[in-house]
Amino acid sequence: MIPSTTISNAISPSTPMQPYWAEIAKIVREAPGVSTYWLKFLDPSLVDGFRFKAGQFNMIFVPGLGEVAISISSDMEDTRLVGHTIRTIGNVTTAISHMSVGDILGVRGPFGSWWGLDECVGRDVVIAAGGIGLPPIRPVIYYILHHRREFGKVILLYGARTPNDLQFSSEYKAWQDGDIELQITVDRGDDAWQGRVGVVPILFYNTRVDPHNTVIITCGPEIMIRFVIFEALARRVPADRIYVSLERNMKCGLGSCGHCQLGPYFVCKDGPVFSFDKLQPYVNVEEF
């Protein structure tokens, strides 16, 4: 009898470019052009056996069209279904947007580094996210909710273009009930909007940040990230407690194809999550 082998990730060391297959089990529309695709691996040992850390990504493959790097947006303590929140924007994501429950996608992963949750334990956590930058952070929110006592004050600053573009809005109440302070802003309101209008970094002005005991977690448009970091540094949060997730062109996830390089780093392997001290020499060099 062949012994059953348990695998905990969808990366084969001998054929690292070959995907594992997964079925779309559920599609949840989050905002216009943004949906979460809940995938169930066909390989039984990966169902519930798949392990990832908050902040890591998978390469999602549509045969004939190619792969896209998508952060995992679901709970790392429940991997029966693995969530990928995808904005329809290019060839591959457009093809995925036309798919239905039961369709098959290729998955390789998880790849990359993760948010410094260990650093967060015993500290306040300020999360600053913009637009599609929230999904890579949602696993952090779930982890904090499950282990709330391990953390100090937890604040989520989130912004989107319009009220319609706010993702995961049905969950906000649960997050607040779980003692996460939520501050939301939009670039443009509509007639019904009674909340704030403005960019995410401005939300820092309503937020008390204890520089000795706070971890910053940020993901979103690069311009937003720059200003979030500016505000955090201005409040004397040390650079090694500011975590940033970067976006680059990625083709392999292995640090092999070269595309995602940033100085000494392969963003797919050494990132996408970096503590800001590692990026400081390079972030202000234009076009590097």
Partner 1 sequence: MADIKLSTGSTAALPKTALGEMIDRLHEMGYHVIGPQIQDNTIVYKTLDSVDELPKGYISQQDAGTYRLVYTGHQRYFDTTPGAQSWKQFFFPPQTDLATYKRDENGRWQTEEQGKDLTPLALFGVFPCDLAAIQIQDRIFLREEWKDPIYWSRRQSALIITVNCLHPCGTGFCASMGTGPKSNPGFDLNLTELEDVFLVEIGSESGRLVMEGLPVLPPSAFWLQSAQKGLDDAKTKMGRSLPHPELLPDLLLNNLEAARWDDVAQRCMSCTSCTQVCPTCFCWDTHDSASLDGNVAKRQRLWDSCFNPDYTYIVGGNTRPNTRARYRQWLTHKFGSWYPQFGTSGCVGCGRCITWCPAKIDVTVELAAIREEVQA
Site residues for partner 1 per CB under 8 A = 11-19, 21, 42, 63-67, 89-90, 102-104, 106, 221, 247-249, 251-252, 254-259, 261, 263-264, 266, 281-282, 285, 287-288
172 to each of 52, 135, 148, 184, 273, how far by Cα in Å?
24, 13, 16, 10, 24
From the list 28, 27, 25, the residue with the least C-alpha distance to 167 is 28
By C-beta, is 80 or 251 nearer to partner 1?
251
**Is the torsion defined by CA of 203, 36, 269, 266 positive or negative?**
negative
Identity of the residue, 3 or 102, whose beta carbon is nearer to partner 1 in the bound complex: 102
Cβ–Cβ < 8 Å for 113, 270: yes
Nearest approach, Cβ of residue 89 and partner 1 (Å): 5
Which residue's CB is nearer to partner 1, number 101 or number 121? 101
**Nearest approach, Cβ of residue 23 and partner 1 (Å):** 9
Which of 215, 250 has the CB closer to partner 1?
250
Smallest separation, CB 42 to partner 1 (Å): 7
- Residue 257 CB, nearest distance to partner 1 (Å)? 5
Eight-state DSSP code of residue 225: H
Distance in Å, CB of 91 to partner 1, minimum: 9
CB 114 within 8 A of CB 33: no
CA–CA dist 163, 224 (Å, integer): 18
Nearer to partner 1, 21 or 172 (CB): 21
